[in-house]
Chain A
């Protein structure tokens, strides 16, 4: 299909995303230089909505750490932390961050400021252990927000249900306590109008995030959930609740709607539509993706885009008339969804597979993240037995190149695609590698 393409539109999201990222890190560098305060937060429940109301710059150590892997220096950082006593068997993100702290904030993208406080949810236990390290190292407060998740697979509570209301009230109490702490730390009063403004931007971003995932059901897929998706995730997290973030995502939706209308895919030849489950292999990020795209494989969706966006896939819209209670509800609903897309990933993947008309599922459990990885083998067994969905199971890491074997991966991936090809030719049963 030939179309008249405004030269500035396709690819704009990636270009603008990279520019926003550079600007974000430049600002952090400036904060570090003047010794200004920063809040350390995480992708699953960043509480950016509260922190931005107090104009606190946010640092996402998960993003900092993955940047060291993408920039191929993670091993240097891991070595510093391991020399400090941390085991090779714990989360690589934690270790890269410990090394960053020990190096006075030195990072490939600029200097990272010290935390004035850290805010985390219980969506990942390592968040808690990680923040305890900062608490000891910098003697600054950490605030853990308990966000109770789904208690039993497929059994979610909803607004109006007594158990849901108890959870929501608990989250609201904790949000109010966080606000009180921020007032104390910054010396600023909580400005409800500013808060509503931040929520408005967050609403735009969540709405656009959900729309983006919906648009990628198109054939051909308009974005690669693994590579493009990681750029969008960075902006979704770092700029949540900001005017730039909202504008970026409105532009991104415009770009993707245009590409859908024009039939412009992210890949020149989309032969296999894939679902990615787990965390990307950042030490060989580009090559990892090529191992699939070389076969015409395109990642059309991923659980990563769900959980690492903090559940923004739900598109939750805050009620500006009742902002704090609504933030609590949104946090509960969204973070719970993020957890579900890890622990009950079998339900999520079956849904994605159907909605995206996918051809196969790639499971990528990693050494560093047991939150995401522990249930994948069992979930995959279940998915295979119940739905006969073709899948591939490859293990490596998101940080530690010592456990990344590209040759072994390639063998398995090649065999998987050969099986998919054979299945397509013969209309046969599932492929499981």
Chain B
């Protein structure tokens, strides 16, 4: 089945107009491309933050969709949860309960104590398969990669049943190749952020990245391959701004306006926003067993986040690596409200940055927050201090 483009609005437009279309799509709580995909008879596999091997869903001809919450009131979902929980759980379920995002499969993995309940909650409310994908918290074990390979095969069997078609190794290899291209293009977005941040506003970089979570990857590849050379060709001149890393966006996303506000004050030269889309840092091997290659990449070619434990990736060392690689002056250490792993890791990050003498600013956010006056003031004070010290 040949599908029409689900996001044609950016085509034949100037760079600024195309980026505006991208921003509007990402800012919208409607996940419009998903509805357009379904209108054409396509099936959709939704997965919750942080990482999911989307290649497996893609190989079945389905659309993998990253559920990352949305800036809307969880009026239906609220009664399914108690207090003391982060917002993204509620707004993600709201997407499904409201019918904005219709799925044929939902998968989450136990990234935190709250989210690990999500598949069960989803399963009590929808009749399609709602599952947990266990990703290794002990990637240091010699058994982790063979086991994860088997687990990916289990997901493949589930996806086959949903898609109503087999998913062969060649299908998987083709998908891995598409995603390798996507990973390369996303690395290029971040290369621009690090090397020439004045060419790409923080909110535009975020929008270009986030679209990967809701567009067919071929379409996203086309978008990036078209726009990135035009971004590189911009004649914008650098300004005297601090270079800052944002840490704390691995799961719940800060409001788009917060990213926009940050981008106006500083150069956001690196971040962990939607890190799951960039979890695998290099190309996944195309020869041999594709499920093994994906499992290997998850454990051996991956980034870091507070929700994965790996003895080889102590978070305090990883954040300092990120700061150095981005030649950053400072770090914004954010955490979503009620995000236990994020809040716990903040303590570690603060210690590590203090010991390394890196300036940092600690804050909390919620995806639905609309008022930034106080935060703006605090941030302006922080960045002024950076400039004058």
Contacts and interface: CB of A to CB of B under 8 A. Distances in A.
A373 interface: yes
Contacts of A393: 82
A186 interface: no
B134 A370 contact: no
B341 interface: yes
Nearest to A363: B82
Interface stretch (A27-35, A86-94, A196-204, A228-236): A86-94
Nearest to A146: B138
Contact of A173 (B112, B143, B338): B143
Contacts of B146: 170
Interface string A343-363: 110100000000000000000
B150 A163 contact: yes
B143 A170 contact: yes
A144 B81 CA distance: 29
Contacts of A370: 84-85, 112-114, 117, 340
A376 interface: yes
Contact of A166 (B119, B147, B311, B344): B147
A65 to B, nearest CB: 15
Interface string B87-104: 001000000000000000
A132 B314 CA distance: 9
Contacts of A136: 314, 316, 348
B381 interface: no
B80 interface: yes
A151 interface: yes
Interface stretch (B121-129, B196-204, B262-270): B121-129
Nearest to A375: B117
B74 to A, nearest CB: 12
A378 B345 CA distance: 29
B124 A129 contact: no
A367 B86 CA distance: 12
Interface string A365-391: 101011101111111011000000000
A90 B337 CA distance: 10
Interface string A107-149: 0000000000000001011101100110010000011111011
B111 interface: yes
Contact of B117 (A150, A163, A174, A374): A374
B162 to A, nearest CB: 12
Contacts of A152: 119, 123, 129-132
Contact of A90 (B116, B154, B344): B344
Contact of B343 (A90, A166, A343): A90
Contacts of A167: 147
B180 interface: no
Interface string B304-338: 00110101001110000000000000000001011
Given A89-B340, A371-B113, A149 B132 contact: yes
Nearest to A147: B134
Contact of A85 (B83, B142, B347): B347
Interface string B51-78: 0000000000000000000000000000
B147 A122 contact: no
Contact of B84 (A89, A122, A129, A375): A89
Contact of B113 (A124, A163, A177): A124
B45 interface: no
Contacts of B242: none
B110 interface: yes
A174 B138 contact: yes
A354 to B, nearest CB: 19
B141 interface: yes
Listed residue (B82, B118, B348) with the most chain A CB atoms within 10 angstroms of its CB = B82
A84 B154 contact: no
Nearest to B339: A89
Interface residues of A, number: 57
A146 B148 CA distance: 11
Contact of B137 (A128, A377, A381): A128
B340 A343 contact: no
A112 B142 CA distance: 33
B335 to A, nearest CB: 8
Given A129-B340, A174-B141, A377 B350 contact: no
B374 interface: no
B2 interface: no
A177 B141 contact: yes
Nearest to B119: A152
A395 B83 contact: yes
A229 to B, nearest CB: 23
A153 interface: yes
B239 to A, nearest CB: 34
A146 B134 contact: yes
A94 B344 contact: yes
A169 interface: yes
Interface in B215-264: none
B337 to A, nearest CB: 7
A369 B89 CA distance: 16
A129 B169 CA distance: 37
Contact of A128 (B114, B124, B147, B309): B309
A125 B346 contact: no
B144 interface: yes
Nearest to A94: B344
B5 interface: no
Interface in B149-200: 150-151, 154
A84 B347 contact: yes
A375 B121 contact: yes
Contact of A125 (B84, B136, B307): B307
B136 A343 contact: no
B51 to A, nearest CB: 15
A344 B120 contact: yes
B106 to A, nearest CB: 10
Given A136-B316, A343-B116, A376 B82 contact: yes
Closest 7 CB pairs of A and B: A173-B143, A170-B147, A371-B113, A374-B117, A375-B117, A370-B113, A166-B150
22 contacts: A85-B347, A87-B343, A87-B346, A94-B344, A125-B113, A129-B306, A129-B340, A129-B341, A144-B309, A146-B138, A163-B154, A170-B147, A173-B143, A174-B138, A177-B141, A343-B120, A370-B113, A371-B113, A374-B118, A378-B80, A378-B125, A381-B124
Given A152-B131, A167-B147, A374-B116, 14 more contacts: A89-B337, A122-B110, A136-B348, A142-B311, A143-B138, A146-B137, A146-B147, A151-B134, A152-B130, A166-B151, A170-B147, A343-B120, A378-B81, A381-B80
